């Protein structure tokens, strides 16, 4: 049994994991290393985030316990995260770091712990939030000129819920402008760099042992659009981060950055305060280091919100994930359409090994068909751009955000404001969306796309109706591309390619999760996706947790050159709020 698991993970990988465990450096040693001023800091979870953050145990069982027992204080934890954010600044994961408020929140949390009255598992836990969630008093930019400097007067419901449970908000993470993209390369604050670009794993495999210029051109993208959040979790600068997922924006960067990325069922988590991309598909996403953590965060966020009429009315009960020992009653569906053009042979192999893993553990593994999934991309294009055209109409320079100096007429001010405020990707989507919504096109495009969406959703209903519990698919077509490679194609082409495996779940509103599965030949993370039934997050996460346990995804061995980030400072004007 064990053998099979290891086999599938590939031997080298397992070997490295074992070696890593042996060589775990104690916090003290790390400190010495730091004090000696070594050019390289090795940021493994243990060294980077002190002794308590051994990855797998996660929030509930380790960090929270350590806080309770006083092994570490919330302020220490917060400070360590903040200093790590500084030393990994070149990743460009954060747009705004709210150092002052974060420390204040940590102090409050510390008082609660001292009184012995912490608010729960999340009390004192440093988190990061994608910069398209409103945060009162902290800039919310959507990585766009349109909202640069915009400070919202209110907190998104999910942000408020996290704060209410004592979480410490470190800052706002980078993204594609208004979450439109799949690389986290198209924001006004510059692209996010995948922490794995600076991992020993990647360097050993891919980077020719030569000068640092090569290294500079070889860094890989995070995927997107929640790339900042994925990078933040992956580089240990926070314990959990919020992303948003409209066509795969949480799962895609999670796969590329080797973290867990959960897109819950549409309607389970409030969208109030999430600056929308496509209202009918947007879901706040959760990025964590392990499945258990995702369940913790989900539990703190889910449930009805009177401010969002599309949230479920029923009460949501937070759950702890059981340790599954028997998967023989499970039926895992392998949708054949996900064997999509462009799927790398590596990922295909990983996928089939994963299927074998389930089969060998006694689960029923069946091939299923979702025949309409192949129309998903074109259908999504119409629905997404139409809603974008509508949602972006409010950015006219009058009430908030950027306003052009043009004052010849209101109309010319609108036009100039929107030209200056939005990048080409956003403007392009607005243009096509308005085209699809024109009276003469509405029937032919929008209505048709809605019908196709229904067909896509019905495919899932049928498959789940046939007795399948969970679908297993790849999350991405390949591992992360180097930035220089990625930008050879335009945003639209990339989004269409990259969303192909993730989008259908948004169309159908289903919960889906990326579980980091293994490393590619280039030493980069690769993940697989589980798609579950509507509102069956517990089942989905339980299976994901079982799988996570089997594959033993390796920890990132981040090697951060000190002072490395100096060269990138120009990318952001206001790093600290």
Partner 1 sequence: WVPVVGLEIHAQISSNSKLFSGSQVQFAAAPNSLVSFFDASLPGTLPVLNRRCVEAAVMTGLALNCSINKRSLFDRKHYFYADLPAGYQITQQRVPIAVNGSLSYSLCIDNKMSQMVTKTVRIKQIQLEQDSGKSLHDDTRNQTLVDLNRAGRLGLFSCFSPPFCPDMCCGEEAAAAVRELQLILQTLGSSQAVMAEGQLRVDANVSVHHPGEHYGVRTEVKNINSLRFLAKAVDYEIQRQIEELENGGTILNETRAFDSKLGCTVPMRDKEGKQDYRFMPEPNLPPLILYDAKSLPANMNHQQVVNVDWIHERLPDLPSVKRAKLVERYGILPEHSFTLLNEDGLTEFFENVVKQTQMKPKKVIGWILNDLLSYLKQHSLIVKESPVSSFLLADLLNLLEKKEISSTAAKQVLAELWKGEGKTPFEIVKEKKLELIQDQKELEQICQAVIDGQENEVMAIKAGNQKVLNKLIGLVQRETQGRSNPVLVKQLLEKKLSE
Active site residue ranges:
130, 225, 249
370: cis peptide before it, omega within 30°?
no
Apex 147 CA angle, 146 and 150, nearest 5: 150
Q: Are strands 260-263 and 512-519 parallel, antiparallel or unpaired?
A: antiparallel
The beta-strand segments (E) located in 105-144 are 126-130
In angstroms, what is the minimal distance from the CB of 359 to partner 1?
A: 40
Q: How far apart are CA 265 and CA 509, in angstroms?
A: 6
Minimum CB separation from partner 1 for residue 306, in Å? Answer: 7
- Give 46's contacts (C-beta < 8 A, 6+ positions apart): 24, 25, 26, 27, 30, 53, 54
Pick between residue 34 and residue 150 the one whose CB is nearest to partner 1.
Answer: 150
Min separation Cβ 289 and partner 1, Å: 28
Q: Which residues bind partner 1 (CB under 8 A)?
A: 133-134, 140, 142, 147, 150, 152-154, 156, 271-276, 278-280, 306-310, 386-387, 389-390, 392-396, 398-400, 410-411, 414, 434, 437-439, 442, 446
For every residue of 288-305, DSSP letters joined together read ESSHHHHHHHHHHHBS-B
Please identify, using beta-carbon distances, which residue of 242 and 330 lies nearer to partner 1: 242
CA dihedral 296, 299, 301, 307 (to 10 degrees): 180
CA dist 193 and 223 (Å) reads 9
CA distances from 92 to 190, 222, 250 (A): 7, 11, 17
Q: Across the strands, what pairs with 193?
A: 221
d(CA 577, CA 571): 15
CB of 298 to partner 1, least distance (A): 21
Which one-letter DSSP state was computed for residue 443?
I
In the complex, what is the shortest distance from the CB of residue 287 to partner 1, in angstroms, rounded to a whole number? 20
Query: CB of 100: closest distance to partner 1 in angstroms?
Result: 24
What secondary structure letter does DSSP report for 133? B
Minimum distance from residue 314 beta carbon to partner 1 (Å): 12
Query: Helical H runs in 303-365?
Result: 345-360
403-412 contacts at long range (C-beta below 8 A, 24 or more positions apart): none
Query: Least distance (Å) from partner 1 to the CB of residue 34?
Result: 40
Q: Which of 279, 466 has the CB closer to partner 1? A: 279
Sheet with 240-245, side-by-side order of all strands: 94-97, 168-173, 126-130, 240-245, 283-288, 260-263, 512-519, 525-531, 470-474, 331-335, 364-368
Residues 231-248 as b/e (b if ≥16 CB within 10 A, e otherwise) read: bbbbbbbbbbbbbbbbbb
Virtual torsion, Cα 458, 461, 463, 468, nearest 10 deg: 160
CA 342 – CA 489 distance, rounded (Å): 15
Q: Which is nearer to partner 1, 79 or 390 (CB)?
A: 390
User: For residue 39, how far is the Cα from the chain centroid?
Assistant: 30
Of the two residues 230 and 449, which places its CB atom closer to partner 1 in the complex? 449
Characterize the bridge pairing of strands 470-474 and 331-335.
parallel
Pick between residue 39 and residue 394 the one whose CB is nearest to partner 1: 394
The least CB distance from residue 222 to partner 1, in Å, is 24
Nearest residue (CB) to partner 1, 277 versus 302:
277
Q: Three-state SS for 132?
A: coil
- CB closer to partner 1 out of 438 and 567: 438
DSSP 26: P
Rounded to a whole number of angstroms, the minimum distance from the CB of residue 156 to partner 1 is: 6
Nearer to partner 1, 91 or 158 (CB): 158
- CA–CA distance, 91 with 566 (Å, rounded to integer): 11
Q: Closest CB to partner 1 among 260 and 389?
A: 389
First to last CA, the chain: 52
Q: How many helices (H) and strands (E) in the chain? A: 24, 13
Backbone phi, psi, residue 306, to 5°: -60, -15
């Amino acid at each position: 049994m064990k053998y099979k698991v290891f086999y599938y993970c590939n031997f080298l990988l397992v070997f490295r994991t074992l070696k890593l465990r042996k060589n775990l450096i104690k916090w003290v040693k790390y400190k010495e290393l730091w004090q000696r001023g070594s050019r390289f800091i090795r940021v493994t979870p243990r060294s980077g985030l002190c002794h308590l953050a051994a990855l797998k145990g996660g929030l509930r069982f380790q960090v929270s316990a350590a806080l309770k027992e006083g092994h570490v204080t919330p302020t220490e934890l917060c400070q360590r995260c903040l200093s790590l954010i500084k030393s990994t600044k070149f990743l460009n994961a954060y747009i705004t770091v709210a150092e002052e408020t974060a420390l204040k929140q940590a102090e409050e949390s510390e008082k609660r712990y001292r009184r012995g009255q912490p608010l729960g598992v999340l009390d004192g836990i440093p988190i990061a939030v994608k910069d398209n969630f409103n945060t009162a008093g902290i800039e919310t930019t959507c990585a766009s000129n349109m909202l640069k400097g915009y400070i919202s007067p209110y907190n998104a419901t999910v942000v408020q819920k996290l704060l209410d449970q004592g979480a410490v908000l470190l800052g706002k993470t980078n993204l594609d402008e208004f979450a439109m993209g799949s690389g986290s390369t198209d924001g006004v604050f510059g692209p996010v760099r995948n922490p794995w670009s600076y991992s020993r794993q990647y360097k050993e495999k891919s980077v020719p042992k030569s000068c640092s210029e090569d290294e500079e051109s070889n860094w890989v993208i995070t995927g997107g659009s929640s790339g900042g959040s994925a990078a933040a979790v992956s580089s240990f600068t926070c314990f959990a981060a919020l992303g948003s997922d409209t066509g795969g924006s949480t799962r895609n960067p999670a796969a590329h950055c080797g973290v867990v990325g959960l897109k819950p069922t549409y309607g389970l988590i409030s969208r109030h305060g999430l600056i929308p991309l496509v209202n009918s598909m947007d879901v706040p996403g959760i990025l964590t280091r392990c499945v258990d953590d995702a369940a913790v965060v989900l539990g703190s966020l889910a449930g009805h919100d009177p401010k969002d009429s599309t949230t479920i009315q029923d009460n949501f009960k937070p759950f702890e994930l059981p340790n599954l020992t028997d998967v023989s009653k499970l039926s895992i569906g392998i949708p054949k359409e996900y064997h999509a053009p462009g799927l790398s042979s590596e990922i295909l192999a990983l996928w089939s090994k994963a299927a074998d893993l389930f089969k060998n553990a006694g689960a029923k593994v069946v091939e299923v068909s979702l025949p309409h999934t192949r129309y998903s991309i074109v259908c999504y294009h119409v629905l997404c751009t139409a809603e974008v055209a509508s949602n972006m109409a409010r950015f006219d320079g009058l009430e908030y955000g950027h306003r052009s100096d043009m004052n010849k007429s209101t109309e010319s001010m609108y036009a100039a404001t929107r030209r200056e405020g939005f990048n080409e990707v956003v403007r392009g989507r607005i243009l096509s969306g308005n085209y699809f919504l024109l009276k003469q096109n509405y029937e032919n495009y929008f209505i048709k796309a809605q019908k196709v969406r229904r067909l896509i959703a019905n495919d899932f209903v049928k498959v789940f109706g046939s007795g399948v519990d969970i679908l297993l698919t790849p999350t991405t077509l390949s591992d992360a591309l180097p930035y220089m490679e990625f930008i050879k194609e335009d945003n639209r082409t990339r989004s269409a390619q990259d969303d192909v495996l993730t989008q259908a779940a948004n169309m159908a509103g289903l919960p889906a999760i990326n579980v980091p599965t293994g490393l590619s030949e280039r030493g980069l993370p690769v993940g697989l996706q589980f798609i579950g039934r509507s509102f069956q997050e517990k089942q989905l996460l339980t299976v994901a947790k079982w799988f996570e346990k089997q594959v033993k995804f390796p920890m990132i061995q981040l090697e951060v050159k000190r002072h490395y980030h100096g060269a990138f400072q120009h990318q952001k004007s206001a790093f600290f709020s």
